[in-house]
Structure 1
Amino acid sequence: MEHNTFPSWPDVAPHLIETAAGRVPAEVVIRGGIWVNVHTREALPNHDIAITYGRIACVVPDASHCIGPDTDIIEANGRYMIPGLCDGHMHIESGMLTPAEFAAAVIPHGTTSMFTDPHEIANVLGLEGVRLMHDEALLQPINIFTQMPSCAPSAPGMETTGFEITAEDVAEAMTWPGIVGLGEMMNFPGVSAADPQMLAEMAATQRAGKTVGGHYASPDLGPAFAAYVAGGPADDHEGTCEADAVARMRQGMRSMIRLGSAWYDVETQITAITQKGLDSRNMILCTDDCHSGTLVNEGHMNRVVRHAIACGCDPLVALQMATINTATHFGLERDIGSLTPGRRADVILTSDLTTLPIEQVIARGKTVSNNGKISVECPHLDWPAKARQTVHLGKTLSAKDFEIAAPAGSNSVSANVIGVVENQAPTKALKLDLPVQDGLVQSHGDTCQIALVERHQATGGVVNAFVAGFGYEGPMAMASTVAHDSHHMIVVGTDRANMALAANRLAEVGGGITLFKDGVEQALVELPIAGLMSDQPAAKVAAKADKLIAAMVDSGCTLNNAYMQHSLLALVVIPELRISDLGLVDVRTFEFIPVIETPK
């Protein structure tokens, strides 16, 4: 695979010097803009940027000495020149798009650098899947840096994945050209307990001089948190309140605060900067994650920056959190994140720093988008058949596979139920009374069934439980092969026959999301690559996703971005209650608990 690797600053320094000195004309000059300097937090009017070999040669009040007969002149016309935006933590697969199509979707929104952890595909296809994501990422006209996934499975002993990531896999990946660090260390109990494999993975990363990503999804900021930080994770995005952000920054971590399609964690944490006055250098904005509908209709990192500003953050500080802070954290401050000599010429032209319209995007010195329209190609890999054939149920499922038997002679039961919390990743561990009919526990009110269907090894296994909070009504079911992080199949429904129809449909199409109501398919989003991604353009995927959301609403669901909630119900590293292919998991104690507690 020939990668689209970018020449280093030392490689092109002679050319940058010649251009900055005026001895050799620049390839591109952006003329007459307001230079937003994120190093000094200044907006300096009447500046030009001279670019050659895709990097910035100089930023000066007058770059006419760099202009030759063939120099491409871009008139800024008094607009702000800001660095291309960086997403510090995200998973491309969660956009339901391949790296190429994800890049095409975010370029018009001004994202020019992404730090991606492909642990979704790692759970399905192992190191080979990571390599495919890495290779397509390096073909793109923007910067997609890959973090080697650390935890597949995310919680050993709590779930079964298609493949497992080893310390040897991590060590190998650290030699690849696009790997910048270790993906989020989700096994936080393992780190706190000094698990040898977790320590070996972090050690291999640190010895390679790269960054260890964190994921501490616990409200406990006592000895367990202290032990986790001592292990080596350098950042964390699982905070939900100001105290979380403060604790992480005080311990030398970067607090990554996220605004994704379903997680709204910026407003509650940015007060550590806007009100408490802490040093903003240690806070980073990220998405973690945005699905295709959000990308098409609302934006990407530009959406996050606007939101941070709306929450009271100074626009220049918000921009630092989405540019230089991110670059510095990953050891790339001398390559990306600012408009200064030697850096990649990733520039946004915008007429307003608060509303942040993305009017022109330049990446590596080339215009890649004008007024919301992409103007470059984003190359695709030829994804192999193995990556497109990943849904193996082992049998055709029937309504009987989704039955939950009640203790003999009971008329009702007390059940442990997963409680969905709108706009947050954590769930609630509920105890609810449910009725029994013909010996089977029934859905009731806002509580419906959830099933985890094994899809990697064709075992035919189905684990059944209950979930509350979606508001579904009438006979329906929704199934998805996006089921973080093990990515089996999650089926949620009020009717067992519809649950079987939905599960079998996804086996038929090779993965995706479907919703059945009254026995009829209402919406289908095909995700044939690993059961996680489509290689169709974002707009097409978003249109199908919009139809899915409409079908969810028509079935009674009013939650914001309920699909994202659905897809995380098997994420056994975020409290309080989750489902896996091995049973119902209490993530507060990392123990399996029964679905049915006691007969009534």
Structure 2
Amino acid sequence: ILRSEDLISFYQNPRVLGLAEVMNFPAVSHTDEDMLQKIYDANRLGKSIDGHAAGLSEQQLDVYLSAGIKTDHECTTAEEAKERLRKGMYLMIREGTVAKDLINLIPVINEKNSRRCLFVTDDRHLDDIVSEGSIDHNVRLSIETGVPPITAIQMATINAAECFGLKEHGAIAPGYKADFLLLDDLDSVILHSVFKDGKLMVQNNRLLNYPADEKQVITDGLKHSVQFHEITGDDFAIPFKNEFANIIEITPNSLITKHSIEPVTLNHDGLFQFSEHVDHLKLAVIERHHMTKQVGLGIVKGLGLKSGAIATTVAHDSHNLIIAGTNDQDMLLAAKEIKKMQGGLTVIQNGEILASLPLPIAGLMSECNYMDVVHSLKHIDEALLKLGANRHFNPFLTLAFLALPVIPEIKLTVQGLFSVSEFRHIPIEASKSVDLN
């Protein structure tokens, strides 16, 4: 847990713009002392406070705004977007690898409110950045939906600079940093040249100048951060007294999950087992930082795996090891492969490692060239097809957000299933009579 005293020294770094993503709404609402200290420190030092208002009601949003939180990137509907603009917030329109909200939100934009809107990606896989781009992809997609090119470019440039107080950015004029680009035309937003600090860096899709490599010292702690106990099949056992379970149901291309109660398939010992017919997979989150031996278990619907298991240490925000699978043996092998690599992504089928991407720096970053990483991600995508994974969204980034207990409706932590609306952990087993409404 990062407390206010842990954060205060970072504000001296000129690259730190403010307090990022205040996710813990109950702490804000209940005036938790340390949370208010974090907000006070950021305000006192003139820093931005970034929001995260997933699932908040209009009244809860008022509490959030009263605390000085002025941005939100968690809107998924046009009505949510309008509500935030009416209240004077900056609307961050997200289009990432998993959360694809731009098409739903862009109809809200007009000439009177566009200057309060900007683009974000939130989480975007490297292969998508290479093939489609980053914020430039959001600009192109907006223009395709009818947003005037100048308005879309404003949202990507001066609006973002003003929102975050980047006073030296956002315009091509005296007194501003000479960071700009040249386009072949406004509609396609194809980059011809990119200038950074007045220097030509990219021309015709070719990198001309690259900063000299600086030797980065990676400590052993960062390279040996995946530590957990010896996993056995017993760690994955989910016993039931009746046949109904609280289910995490995936919403394709969204971070929001549905809380469903459904009957599950049990073996002769009364333990949950995979069902391809109803797409019920076993889900596990294993604590990997402090050797606590904590393993949270759940059932997920919507990944579409027909066989095997997938695992990753990219699991927001605690980045524990998260595994989804059709059988315990492949899930066990996935855990062993992740520990061997000291973090990363892996795809397992029938006791065989089909593809892996090592991320040995904190279990999150690669030591390889970015194109080598893209090549590994391509192998992972091919392996996922062999498992029958859903092709309409990225299974790994979707998996990563299933462990984030601040986005509705239900997620999984190392302590077990977590109901976001109730803000408490709940059992896997459920009563048929429970009314989720």
Structure-2-length-normalised TM-score? 0.95
Residue matched to 1:507: 339
Over the aligned positions, Cα root-mean-square deviation in angstroms equals 1.5
Does residue 389 of the first structure (1) align with residue 219 of the second (2)? Answer: no
Once the two structures are aligned, what percentage of the paired residues are identical? 34
Residue matched to 1:521: 353
Deviation (angstroms), 1:373: 2.1
Q: What amino acid maps onto 1:270 in structure 2?
A: I
Q: What amino acid maps onto 2:102 in structure 1?
A: V
Question: Which of the numbers 314, 318, 343 marks the counterpart of 2:152?
Answer: 318
Question: Which of the numbers 275, 278, 295 marks the counterpart of 1:462?
Answer: 295
1:105-120 alignment runs, 5 A limit: none
Question: Which of the numbers 406, 410, 413 marks the counterpart of 1:580?
Answer: 413
Does residue 185 of the first structure (1) align with residue 15 of the second (2)? Answer: no
Question: Which of the numbers 346, 361, 366 marks the counterpart of 2:179?
Answer: 346
Deviations 1:444-484 (Å, cap 9, x if unpaired)? Answer: 1311100011101112222211000011113x011101110
Does residue 243 of the first structure (1) align with residue 73 of the second (2)? Answer: no
Q: Which runs of 5+ in 1 are unaligned?
A: 1-163
- For the residues of structure 2 that align with 1:501 and 1:225, how far apart are their CA atoms? 44
1:31-430 alignment runs, 5 A limit: 164-221=1-58, 223-274=59-110, 278-333=112-167, 335-378=168-211, 379-380=213-214, 381-395=216-230, 397-407=231-241, 413-430=243-260
Q: What amino acid maps onto 2:260 in structure 1?
A: L
- For the residues of structure 1 that align with 2:63 and 2:109, how far apart are their CA atoms? 26
Q: What amino acid maps onto 1:309 in structure 2?
A: I
Q: State the SS of the aligned residue for 2:265.
A: strand
Contact 2:317 2:403 in 1 (8 A): yes
Q: State the SS of the aligned residue for 1:369.
A: strand
Deviation (angstroms), 1:394: 2.3
Contact 1:575 1:587 in 2 (8 A): yes
Deviations 1:328-383 (Å, cap 9, x if unpaired)? Answer: 111123x0111111111112111111111111111111111122222233445222
**Runs of 4+ with deviation above 6 angstroms:** none
- For the residues of structure 1 that align with 2:134 and 2:356, how far apart are their CA atoms? 24
Question: Which of the numbers 364, 377, 397 marks the counterpart of 1:532?
Answer: 364
Deviates more, 1:459-468 or 1:419-428: 459-468
Q: What amino acid maps onto 2:398 in structure 1?
A: Q
Deviates more, 1:378-387 or 1:362-371: 378-387
Deviation (angstroms), 1:535: 2.8
Deviations 1:298-331 (Å, cap 9, x if unpaired)? Answer: 1111111101111211100000000000111111
- For the residues of structure 2 that align with 1:365 and 1:415, how far apart are their CA atoms? 59
Contact 1:387 1:529 in 2 (8 A): yes
- For the residues of structure 1 that align with 2:11 and 2:135, how far apart are their CA atoms? 27
Deviates more, 1:193-202 or 1:229-238: 193-202
Deviation (angstroms), 1:219: 4.7
Q: What amino acid maps onto 1:224 in structure 2?
A: Q
- For the residues of structure 2 that align with 1:599 and 1:355, how far apart are their CA atoms? 53
Q: What amino acid maps onto 2:57 in structure 1?
A: D
Residue matched to 1:593: 426
Residue matched to 1:492: 324
Residue matched to 2:274: 443
- For the residues of structure 2 that align with 1:172 and 1:471, how far apart are their CA atoms? 45
Contact 1:192 1:231 in 2 (8 A): no
- For the residues of structure 2 that align with 1:185 and 1:212, how far apart are their CA atoms? 8
Q: State the SS of the aligned residue for 2:103.
A: coil
Contact 1:192 1:225 in 2 (8 A): no
Q: Which runs of 5+ in 2 are unaligned?
A: none
Q: Which has the higher contact order (CA 8 A, sep 6+)?
A: 1
- For the residues of structure 2 that align with 1:211 and 1:599, how far apart are their CA atoms? 46
Structure-1-length-normalised TM-score? 0.69
Deviation (angstroms), 1:510: 0.6
Deviations 1:525-573 (Å, cap 9, x if unpaired)? Answer: 1101110111322211111112112211221112322221111100000
Contact 1:478 1:513 in 2 (8 A): yes
Residues matched between the structures, number: 427
Which has the larger share of strand?
Answer: 1
Q: State the SS of the aligned residue for 2:40.
A: helix
- For the residues of structure 2 that align with 1:517 and 1:565, how far apart are their CA atoms? 20
Q: What amino acid maps onto 1:394 in structure 2?
A: H
- For the residues of structure 1 that align with 2:207 and 2:224, how far apart are their CA atoms? 31
